[in-house]
Chains A and B, each alone.
Chain A
Amino acid sequence: MKFIELKNVNKIYKNGVTALADVSVEIDKGEFVFVIGLTASGKSTFIKMLYREEKPTKGTVMVGGLNVGKLRNGRVFKLRRKIGIVFQDFKLLPKLTVFENVAFALECVGLKDKEIRPKVLNALERVGLKDKVRSFPGELSGGEQQRVCIARAIVNEPKLLVCDEPTGNLDPDTSKEIMKVIEGINRDLGTTIIMATHDRDIVNRMKKRVLLIDHGVLAGDYAKGSYKTHEGV
């Protein structure tokens, strides 16, 4: 069985809007996949389905052997512990320091303080923020905040990193740095990465597998490097 399997997934919201129609896709362990599409194309729904912020109306979503759609509300944490999530708006707690924000993810799982410290410092080193440990999110730039968010996502050593437009709020240079960090995680740790974006430069430059979603339909599945901007969006 593949690491991630979507079979005939449909999502119809309560207001009648069809966000996804009959999407089937398989993703292997260690892959780096871009999900692209216009605003309101359904790519956000696709991403949210992976960490069960949304449930499929029809079809099955399997992530690491868990049937995501069938997961009860009280069991969602089992899935979330296997996944790291990076958000466009960072979702950091403003009253906690950088260290505490990253440690938060491990405290929730119930690790010892002694175990937490090295893991957090390790994750912060990977994203290049070891010297900002005591800063508060408000004192950091956008790029730095995003790196804290990435550190928090990988501190638990997840098999899958889901990124929902991580560069959406950042300038091109900062975006490049963030992408370097994410690519490094994929290369060094073997973490599977699924990233929604509408930044064509990044997609063109990185030459990875690309899923194109258009009006809720999987309009294209381009293997590594075969995607060219003029073909799609």
Chain B
Amino acid sequence: MRKEVIRHMRAFRIFVRSIRDAFKSVFRNFSLSFASIMCTTITLILVSVALICAVNIENATKSIEDELNIVVYLAKDVTEEEINNIESDIKSQKNVEEVTFKSKAEWKMEMSEYDDTFETVLNYLDENPLMDSLIVKVKEVKHLIDTAEYIKTISKVDTVKYGEGMVDTLVSAFDIVEKVVVVVVIALVIVTAFLISNTIKLTIFSRRSAIEIMRLVGASNTTIKLPFIIEGFIIGIIGAIIPICITIYGYVILYSTLNGHFFSNMIVLIKPYNFVFWVSLVLVVIGAIVGMLGSLKAVRKYLKI
């Protein structure tokens, strides 16, 4: 029991000393640390830009997708029971999220409100010429066409509308953009890790005799690694400061100059608060993790015999 306590105390002291040593060496080898910090800064700025793009595209895709519905016009002679049957048939489809019924009376109301001419014409006719309809919301726009095609085959369905053509291109365009952005973000993170690991390797190269001596006097590998990992952590966090400032100020200014939307009203930008803080948090985390992994990778090389 006592032995356990002593061991924990020792591990704790080693940890505290590692933090002290890490801070010391960041500032003692400042020119080299500066190189690592700059390289983190530059890549994190790129990551930030890519991240903001990605999240905004994702957001825009979602809001556009939300507005994409299938409108199913039912045949004139459809009975209430048949409507229920059709509705439950559509609901049983995997891709269908919601089905709402919109009667011809509702259509008439809506159209009348929209334009006086419609109102006059519709009122002139004895019978409502419009059709009852079901509005189908799908889960995934990718499969919207398949769902629409299926609905067409149900009896008593007159016509199915879903903005053919426009949906196709929009969906595939968003898909491609999203994939590209994800790839770019991942690539940037990997590149950052490599760059940091290389610059830290330079710092470590100048301290390899210290590592060798530590090994010879009986420091465990963890004890040797710890200060370097903490150093990478510090470098990552310092390197994230400028990108965070750019993210916060840049996005707020961008948002207010563009009035909250991009080119058309269709693509709405995400509101800057709390979004910028989330992005900042992600940047700090990426910086810290990549810094630690980079220096871990670099120091490992010197821990083999």
A binding-site residues for B, Cβ under 8 Å:
51-55, 73-74, 76-78, 80-81, 83, 85, 91-93, 104-105, 107-112, 152, 156
Question: Is A80 a contact partner of B303 (Cβ separation < 8 A)?
Answer: no
User: Closest Cβ of chain B: how far from A13's Cβ, in Å?
Assistant: 13
Summarize B's interface: helix, strand, loop or mixed: helix
> Total contacts A to B, CB within 8 angstroms?
66
Interface stretch, picked from B148-156, B194-202, B212-220, is B212-220
Contact (Cβ within 8 A) B11 A105: no
Instruction: Report whether B217 and A108 are in contact in the complex, using a CB–CB cutoff of 8 Å.
Output: yes
B221 touches A77 (CB 8 A): yes
> Does chain A have a CB within 8 A of B271?
no
Contacting pair A152 B210 (CB below 8 A): no
Cross-interface CB contact of B214 among A85, A108, A110, A156, cutoff 8 Å? A108
A156-B216 Cα distance, complex, nearest whole Å: 12
Asked whether A109 lies within 8 Å of B209 as measured between CB atoms, the reply is: no
Report if A156-B13 is in contact (Cβ < 8 Å); known contacts: A52-B305, A73-B305, A108-B223: no
Q: How far is the CB of B19 from chain A (nearest CB, A)?
A: 13
**Considering the complex, which residues of chain B in the window 51-77 have a beta carbon less than 8 Å from any beta carbon of chain A?**
none
Please state if A110 and B217 are interface contacts (CB–CB under 8 Å): no
- Please give me the residue from chain A that is nearest to B21 by CB atom: A107
Contacts of A92 in B (CB 8 A): 213
Instruction: List the A side residues contacting B210 at CB < 8 Å.
Output: 93
Provide the bound-state CA to CA distance between A96 and B210, in Å: 11
B218 touches A105 (CB 8 A): yes
Residues from chain B with Cβ under 8 Å of A78 in the complex:
218
Does B179 interact with chain A (Cβ within 8 Å)? no
When chains A and B are docked, how far (Å) is the Cα of A108 from the Cα of B11?
Answer: 10
Please name 28 pairs of A and B residues whose Cβ atoms are closer than 8 Å in the assembled complex, sorted by A.
Answer: A53-B305, A54-B305, A73-B221, A73-B303, A73-B305, A77-B219, A77-B220, A78-B218, A92-B213, A93-B209, A93-B213, A104-B214, A104-B217, A105-B217, A105-B218, A107-B14, A108-B214, A108-B217, A108-B218, A108-B219, A108-B223, A109-B219, A110-B11, A110-B223, A111-B10, A112-B9, A152-B217, A156-B217
Cα of A112 to Cα of B11 in the assembled complex, Å: 11
Question: Of A77, A110, A111, which is within 8 A of B215 by CB?
Answer: A77
* B: number of interface residues (CB 8 Å): 22
Query: Which residue of A55, A73, A108, A156 has the most chain B CB atoms within 10 A of its CB atom?
Result: A108
CB distance from B102 to the nearest CB of A (A): 70
Min CB–CB distance B47 → chain A (angstroms): 34
- Give the Cβ gap from B170 to chain A, nearest Cβ, in Å: 55
A124 and B190 alpha carbons, distance in the complex (Å): 49
Given A73-B303, A108-B223, A91 and B218 contact (CB-CB distance below 8 Å): no
Residue pair A156, B220 in contact (C-beta under 8 Å): no
> Could you tell me which residues of chain B, from 117 to 139, have a CB within 8 Å of some CB in chain A?
none
- B304 on interface, CB distance cutoff 8 Å: yes
> A-side binding surface: helix, strand, loop or mixed?
loop
Identify which of residues 204-252 in chain B touch chain A, using a CB-to-CB cut-off of 8 Å.
209-210, 212-221, 223
Cβ contacts under 8 Å, B13 to chain A: 110-112
Q: A104 → chain B, closest Cβ, in Å?
A: 7
Bound-complex Cα distance A152 to B221 (A): 19
Q: In the complex, what distance in Å separates the CA atom of A81 from the CA atom of B215? A: 10
* Residue interface mask B138-168, A partner, CB < 8 A = 1: 0000000000000000000000000000000
Cβ contacts under 8 Å, B216 to chain A: 51, 80, 85, 91
CB pair A91–B209 under 8 Å, yes or no, is yes
The one of A54, A74, A91, A107 in contact with B221, judged by C-beta atoms closer than 8 angstroms, is: A74
| A74: B residues at CB distance < 8 A | 220-221
Kindly list the 10 A-B residue pairs having the minimum CB-CB distance in the complex, ordered from nearest. Answer: A110-B10, A108-B219, A80-B218, A81-B218, A105-B217, A77-B220, A110-B14, A77-B218, A110-B13, A74-B221
Select one of A73, A76, A91 contacting B213, CB under 8 A: A91
Q: Which residues of B contact A77 (CB under 8 A)?
A: 215, 218-221, 223
Chain A residue, CB-CB nearest to B222: A74
In the bound complex, CA of A92 to CA of B215 (Å): 13
A78 to B210, CA, bound (A): 19
Which A residues touch B305, using CB under 8 A?
A: 52-55, 73, 76
A53 to B214, CA, bound (A): 13
Q: Bound complex: CA of A156 vs CA of B217, how far in Å?
A: 9
CA distance A12 to B298 in the complex (A): 30
Quote the shortest CB–CB distance from B98 to chain A (angstroms): 58
A109 adjacent to B221 (CB under 8 Å): no
The distance from the CB of A44 to the nearest CB of chain B, in whole angstroms, is 15
B229 → chain A closest CB, angstroms: 16
**Nearest chain A CB to B81 CB, angstrom units:** 75
**Min C-beta distance of B249 to chain A, whole Å:** 41
